[in-house]
Amino acid sequence: MGQGNLPLLIIMAKITILGSSAAVPDAAHANSQLLVTLKNTTTLIDCGDSTYLRLIAAGIGVDQVSDLILTHFHPDHVGGLPAFLITLWLLKRQSPLVIHGLKDTLDRAEAMMKLYQWETWKGFYPVSFNRLKEEELTSVISTDEWKVFASPVCHLIPTIGLRMEFASDSVAAYSCDTEPCAAVMRLGKEADLLLHETAGEVRGHSSGVQAADVARQAEAKQLVLIHYPAEKSAELINEARANFAGEVTLAEDGAVYEV
C-alpha cells in the first residue's frame, strides 16, 4: 500500500467526569473533578473527595497519572489532595507527579501538605510544582498529544479555567468556578466541548442561562453543565437548552466524552 493510502492516525482523547457536583456532594455526585486520558498522558484536574476510588473505577493505575492541575484552593477542589498523595505512596508509586496551578493555589497546597509532615514520608515519589503565571492563555502542558492553556477566571479567589487543544485538532474547555466572563468565552472559542459550571447565579458562579450565553458567544459545539447542585439539575439543563442551539448535556459521574 502506498504512503498516500495509509490510514490517518487520530489520537483520541477521553475526558472522564470523576465528579460533577458543586460544593455539596451527594451519593451519586462527587465534587467536580476531571480526568483526561491520551495514549501517553493521563492528567487529573482537581482533587476533591474520593479521588483514588474514582480513578480505580475509571481503570487508572497507581503510576498512570502524570500531571495534576489544581484550579483553585477551595476544599471541594483540593480537599482530597493529602489522602490522594499518601494513598499513591502507600501503594509504592515510583513515577514523578507534576502539580500545576497558580502560585496562590500551590503555596497553600504545599502548606497543607506540610501540616501532614509529608517530608518525613520515606521513599516518597518525586513531586514537583509548576507555578503558573496569572495571565491569560498561560501554557500549562505542551506535548505532541495536546496543549493545555490556563486563564484567570472570575471566582471568589484566584482561579483558572482551561483550554485543551488536542493533536486531533479538537478542542475542549473547562470554565471551572466562575461568573460569566470574557476569559471563559476566549477559552471556549469554537470548542468542540465546553464544560461550564452551573452552581447558580450568585457571586463567583453561573446559572444555566449564563452558561448557555457563554457557549453561544464562544460558538462552542457542545455544552456540558458541571459543578451543579444535583437537586436543580433538571431546571439547569432546561434553562441551558432554551438559550443555546447546540447540544447540551448534564455531566454525570463516570460519564466519558471523546474529543
Catalytic residues: 76
Among candidate residues 19, 174, 29, 172, the one with its CA nearest the CA of residue 84: 19
Q: What share of the chain is helix, strand, coil (3-state, %, to 5)?
A: 25, 30, 45
CB neighbour list of residue 205: distance below 8 Å, 6 or more residues apart: 155, 177, 178, 179, 197, 198, 199
**Residue among 54, 5, 14, 8 at smallest CA distance from 30:** 54
> Measuring CA to CA, which residue among 167, 130, 129 is closest to residue 146?
167
Give the containing element (helix H, strand E) for 138: strand 138-142
Nearest to 93 by CA among 124, 66, 128: 124
- In whole angstroms, what is the distance from residue 142 CA to residue 146 CA? 6
